[in-house]
Amino acid sequence: MNPTSVLRSDAQVVRGRRTWREVMFRVPIREALRYGRDVPVTPQECVAGLPEDCASRVLGVVRRARLWHREQTEVASELSSHFREGLATGRTAAQLLEAFGDERRAARLVRRAMRRKRSVAWHLWVLTNRVIVVAILSMAVWLGVLWGRILWDCPTIRTDYVAMARESLSCDVSVPRSYPVIADVAARSEAWMRNNDFYNVPCRNPASADWECAAQWSEALYDDVTRLHAAAKLGTLGNPFDPEMEREYVAAQQRYIAGWQPSKSDADEGLRSVRLSSLGHVRGAARLLVQDAAVARSRGEAARMVADWRALLGLARQCSGVRAPWYQSVALGVYTLLCDDLRVCLTVRPTLLASDELKQFAHELASFGLANRPGNLVPDRVLASWEREDLLQRFFTDDGRGDGRMLSSALSLLDAQAREHTIVTRLTKKVDESAGVWMRASSTAANWQWVLRDESHSGLLDVVDNVGKPANMLGFASRREVAEVWERLERAAAEVAEVPFYARHATALEAISAELQTDDNIRRLAFVRCNATAKSVWAWYDWPVRLAQERDATLAAISCELYRRATGAWPATLEALVPRYLPSVPIDIYDGGPLGYRRTEAGPLIYSVGPDREDDGGRSAEDATLWSQATSDVVYMPYAPVW
Amino acid sequence: MKAETELLRGAGPIAVLKLLQAREMYGYELVEALERQSGGVLAMGQSTLYPLLYNLEAKGLIEGERREAESGRERKYYRLTPKGRKRLEKDSKQWAALAEAMRNLGIAAGFVAREAGACSPAPAVVRPAMAGGGHDA
């Protein structure tokens, strides 16, 4: 027995008690937490006085049992007592050791028994850890299997739709194309912006803080602007599916932007056909022209401004000549910029243009439209179906029966599409944030909430993409489901397009869109591509109508100005403009009635009743646009009251 | 004769509880008593006894108290708890039923007499007491 030990309740063996001062300043923290003021007895102290063999056996059992320190002491103390009692009865150490049994087995049993004695909290802790480990291992195995399947999969390209599109859109190579000039100018423009770290263009408001730098930008590139004037007169932009156009895109970027290298998706021909990189250059060219027009207006250079407008109109015409759906949308965007710029001019510099010039340009603007669609902006349904089929075969595996699951490479495609398809949004960005005034064209973007872009750049998708890409793959709807929804969307869009805008209530298309825009994140993500399609389909039947109204309002504004110059007063009603200035009173797409008009002291007020269909007499919320869901009226003229 | 380990696994705990029913005992004393009172049948490895005691203690069937004996040696005495008494009572009945069943099957003593027609009906369900056992499980 250890004569210095103190017997406490249960099996705890301690040598004595420390003072609190000792506990606070001399005892290691770990020991203080374990024993408080008690001075613990070590297993070695417990076996003191035992024969060496017995002591070794006790310590061996304690060591092998891998117990907590307090438990070790308890077991060592008990086993030491056992041997001491045996020795006291006259047995030899050898006899006792033989009767005691195997050390390993004893250690194993002691360990199990002592662990059972531990607290419920400890058992819960161990159980929790085990559950976590099992869950992690299961997840790892699951992800591993999925990764394997995903890495193994690759798209099956059964039909080369890119080649078909290239052939369908092929243009006469002998006809000069504008794209080489557009690419060259856009790349130079981008290089300028990078070098000057300035991207807030175009800027139409001379009072804006961005104006100076924006003006420098267009001035620096004025020679290029004149090149664009000439290029916009050419018959065609080119074929965006033509590899030559892609090579021109890469060459232009590398020529002017130091260190620019094609991205992975640039290098992939299949992806290039989806990305249509050339769209970015068209956007850059349009922005440069708008900025130059703003600079010309501020300096009173009417001819230069009109030349910029004609170039914009030519660019819109060239884009509409490319029947690919996304070029149609860009054509709409460019046309919107032009209409906006005209109304800006009529608002801030109404007398800048001579009447003849104004009439001439009004005719050119009107000639871009057919029926209720500006330009021949009817996307080629065949091309659209090719795009659908091409995306499906690139996004999904093919089981040969029209079904399959989404591929990991589809995420790259989604991202590439998201980046490129925001082109229209970026084209029509807000122009004067400091003044709180938005370009009407920015409204193009206001409701153009790209589901695709929102989703593909959301934190949710980033996490899912980076950590659990395989799980992400599982979350997407199958090829058959996506194709089915896609076709429903297209059918519904075709039906809705036949209905007047103001009569489009609770359409099948809206029902499908609502179905896709569910609050259920998983389902929304599953049909993310269909959401994008819903938006593009919406663009087919919705945008042209809204833009037709922008055009009609712009023509009405021009007519008012011409009327004022001719009579010395603003017209009392829009009917007064018919038939000399307008063929008929423009229709408000929201209620089917005439476009709203009021003569004010400041000039004509031209407005739409807006989505709420209530005539507020031209009262407009600051952010109300034709494209928003504002409950106020949408005012076209004056364009920017704060200017 | 020494019992097989599997048999001992079920019998060990109840044997220990039974020994502690009379009075509190310390580890080595229990080892000796088991061997002596069972005629060596229940003599278990001494290394087995202590885990068995820890298991019974963990289940609250016995409780231990360390104190100094008259001899001056430090011992940990074990005694039955009320829960342990109930368990012993319950297990004893089951073991009695088991023994009866074994006798009826001609495995235990008394087989010849019952073979002659004096046997009582076997219990419907017999389940050996494993509650205190399984310390090796």
Contact (CB, 8 A) for A51 and A59: no
Q: Which range, of A52-66, A151-165, A545-559, A600-614, averages the lowest pLDDT? A: A151-165
Task: Please judge whether B65 and A10 are an interchain contact, meaning their C-beta atoms are less than 8 angstroms apart.
Answer: yes
Task: Please judge whether B28 and A85 are an interchain contact, meaning their C-beta atoms are less than 8 angstroms apart.
Answer: yes
- Tell me: the pLDDT tens digits for A467-510? 545 555 566 778 888 888 888 887 887 788 778 888 877 777 77
Who wins on pLDDT, A345 or A28? A345
Q: What are phi and psi of B63, to 5 degrees?
A: -140, 145
Q: Is A432 helix (H, G, I), strand (E, B) or coil?
A: strand
Q: Is A221 helix (H, G, I), strand (E, B) or coil?
A: coil
Residue A564 CA, distance from chain mean position: 47
- Tell me: the pLDDT tens digits for A137-182? 998 888 787 777 666 667 788 888 877 877 777 666 677 899 999 9
- Tell me the mean pLDDT in the region A365-379: 59
Task: Please judge whether B27 and A81 are an interchain contact, meaning their C-beta atoms are less than 8 angstroms apart.
Answer: yes
Q: What per-residue string of b and e applies to A37-58 under the rule 16 or more CB within 10 Å gives b? A: ebbbbebebbbeebbeebbebb
| Other CB atoms within 10 Å distance of the CB of residue A151 | 10
B interface test, pick of A41, A82, A102 with most B CB neighbours within 10 Å: A82
pLDDT of A612 strictly over 60: yes
Q: Number of A to B CB contacts under 8 A, please give it.
A: 104
Contact (CB, 8 A) for A193 and A217: yes
Per-residue confidence (pLDDT) for residue A239, from 0 to 100: 83
Contact (CB, 8 A) for B55 and B78: no
| Other CB atoms within 10 Å distance of the CB of residue A425 | 18
Q: Is the peptide bond before A638 cis (omega within 30 degrees of 0)?
A: yes
pLDDT of A269 strictly over 90: no
Give me the percent of chain A exceeding a pLDDT of 70. Answer: 75
Q: Is A21 helix (H, G, I), strand (E, B) or coil?
A: helix
pLDDT band at A307 (very low <50, low <70, confident <90, very high): very high
CA dihedral A410, A415, A418, A420 (to 10 degrees): -100
A interface test, pick of B30, B47, B73 with most A CB neighbours within 10 Å: B47
Strand-pair partners of A606:
A597, A637
Task: Please judge whether A106 and B50 are an interchain contact, meaning their C-beta atoms are less than 8 angstroms apart.
Answer: yes
* DSSP for residue A372: T
Per-residue confidence (pLDDT) for residue A270, from 0 to 100: 59
Tokens of residue A491, six digits:
């059918």
d(CA A194, CA A182): 18
Tokens of residue A371, six digits:
């029926």
pLDDT band at B2 (very low <50, low <70, confident <90, very high): low
d(CA A555, CA A574): 11
- List strand residue ranges (DSSP E) for A183-335, in order: none
d(CA A109, CA A120): 20
Give the distance from residue B110's alpha carbon to the nearest chain A alpha carbon, in angstroms: 34
Q: Which of A361, A372, A375 lies closest to A332, judged by CA?
A: A375
- List strand residue ranges (DSSP E) for A274-353, in order: none
Average pLDDT score, chain A: 78
Q: Which of A547, A293, A531, A305 lies closest to A424, judged by CA?
A: A547
Instruction: Using an 8 Å CB-CB cutoff, list chain B residues near A75.
Output: 50
Q: What count of residues does chain A have? A: 643
- Residue A456: CB partners within 8 Å, gap ≥ 6? A411, A414, A415, A418, A528
Q: Is A157 helix (H, G, I), strand (E, B) or coil?
A: coil
Interface of chain B against chain A, CB under 8 Å? 26-29, 31-32, 45-48, 50-55, 57-59, 63-68, 71-76, 135-136
Q: Which range, of A513-522, A608-617, B79-88, averages the lowest pLDDT? A: A513-522
Q: Which range, of A182-186, A295-299, A394-398, averages the lowest pLDDT? A: A394-398
Q: Which range, of A591-605, A629-643, B102-116, averages the lowest pLDDT? A: B102-116
Task: Please judge whether A1 and B57 are an interchain contact, meaning their C-beta atoms are less than 8 angstroms apart.
Answer: no
Q: What are phi and psi of A41, to 5 degrees?
A: -100, 135
A422 has a chain B CB within 8 A of its CB: no
Could you give the ipTM of this predicted complex?
Answer: 0.74
Contact (CB, 8 A) for A616 and A596: no
d(CA A165, CA A4): 96
Task: Please judge whether A7 and B55 are an interchain contact, meaning their C-beta atoms are less than 8 angstroms apart.
Answer: no
Residue B20 CA, distance from chain mean position: 10
d(CA A243, CA A250): 11
pLDDT of A435 strictly over 50: no
- Tell me: the pLDDT tens digits for A68-124? 888 888 899 889 989 998 998 888 999 899 888 889 989 999 999 999 888 899 999
pLDDT of B125 strictly over 60: no
Strand-pair partners of A607:
A596, A635
Instruction: Using an 8 Å CB-CB cutoff, list chain A residues near B47.
Output: 61, 100-103, 105-106, 109-110
Task: Please judge whether B51 and A10 are an interchain contact, meaning their C-beta atoms are less than 8 angstroms apart.
Answer: no
CA dihedral A446, A447, A452, A457 (to 10 degrees): 40
Q: What per-residue string of b and e applies to B42-67 under the rule 16 or more CB within 10 Å gives b? A: bbbbbbbbbbbbbbbbbbebbbbbbe
d(CA B26, CA B31): 9
Per-residue confidence (pLDDT) for residue A411, from 0 to 100: 63
Q: What count of residues does chain B have? A: 137
Edge-to-edge, what's the strand order for the sheet holding B74-80? B25-26, B74-80, B62-68
Per-residue confidence (pLDDT) for residue A172, from 0 to 100: 65
Edge-to-edge, what's the strand order for the sheet holding A596-600? A596-600, A603-608, A634-637
Binding-face residues of A in 11-70 toward B, CB within 8 A: 11-13, 61
Instruction: Using an 8 Å CB-CB cutoff, list chain A residues near B74.
Output: 1-2, 5, 7, 77, 81
Q: Is B77 helix (H, G, I), strand (E, B) or coil?
A: strand
d(CA A275, CA A252): 17
Give the distance from residue A29's alpha carbon to the nearest chain B alpha carbon, in angstroms: 28
d(CA A517, CA A47): 75
A98 has a chain B CB within 8 A of its CB: no
- Residue A26: CB partners within 8 Å, gap ≥ 6? A18
Q: Is A559 helix (H, G, I), strand (E, B) or coil?
A: helix
- Tell me the mean pLDDT in the region A361-372: 74
B47, B53, B67 ranked by CB distance to A105: nearest: B47
- Tell me: the pLDDT tens digits for A545-579? 777 888 899 999 999 999 999 999 999 999 999 99
- Tell me: the pLDDT tens digits for B67-114? 888 877 888 899 999 999 999 999 999 888 988 888 888 876 554 444
d(CA A370, CA A372): 6
Q: Which of B72, B68, B64 lies closest to B27, judged by CA?
A: B64
What's the count of helices (H) and strands (E) in chain B, helices before strands?
A: 5, 3
A106 has a chain B CB within 8 A of its CB: yes
Give the distance from residue B23's alpha carbon to the nearest chain A alpha carbon, in angstroms: 17
Instruction: Using an 8 Å CB-CB cutoff, list chain B residues near A94.
Output: none
CA distances from A190 to A196, A247, A261, A330 (A): 10, 18, 14, 19
pLDDT band at A60 (very low <50, low <70, confident <90, very high): very high
A137 has a chain B CB within 8 A of its CB: no
Per-residue confidence (pLDDT) for residue A512, from 0 to 100: 78
d(CA A45, CA A43): 5
Instruction: Using an 8 Å CB-CB cutoff, list chain B residues near A11.
Output: 64, 66, 76
- Residue A69: CB partners within 8 Å, gap ≥ 6? A34, A40
- Tell me the mean pLDDT in the region B12-21: 91
A interface test, pick of B2, B46, B136 with most A CB neighbours within 10 Å: B46
| Other CB atoms within 10 Å distance of the CB of residue A519 | 6
Instruction: Using an 8 Å CB-CB cutoff, list chain B residues near A116.
Output: 54-55, 58-59
pLDDT band at A214 (very low <50, low <70, confident <90, very high): very high
CA-atom Rg of chain A in angstroms: 39
pLDDT band at A455 (very low <50, low <70, confident <90, very high): very low
A299 has a chain B CB within 8 A of its CB: no
A5, A105, A117 ranked by CB distance to B54: nearest: A117
- Tell me the mean pLDDT in the region A267-291: 77
CA dihedral A388, A389, A395, A401 (to 10 degrees): 140
Task: Please judge whether A10 and B64 are an interchain contact, meaning their C-beta atoms are less than 8 angstroms apart.
Answer: yes
| Furthest C-alpha separation in chain B | 59
Q: Is the peptide bond before A325 cis (omega within 30 degrees of 0)?
A: no
A2 has a chain B CB within 8 A of its CB: yes
Instruction: Using an 8 Å CB-CB cutoff, list chain B residues near A12.
Output: 66
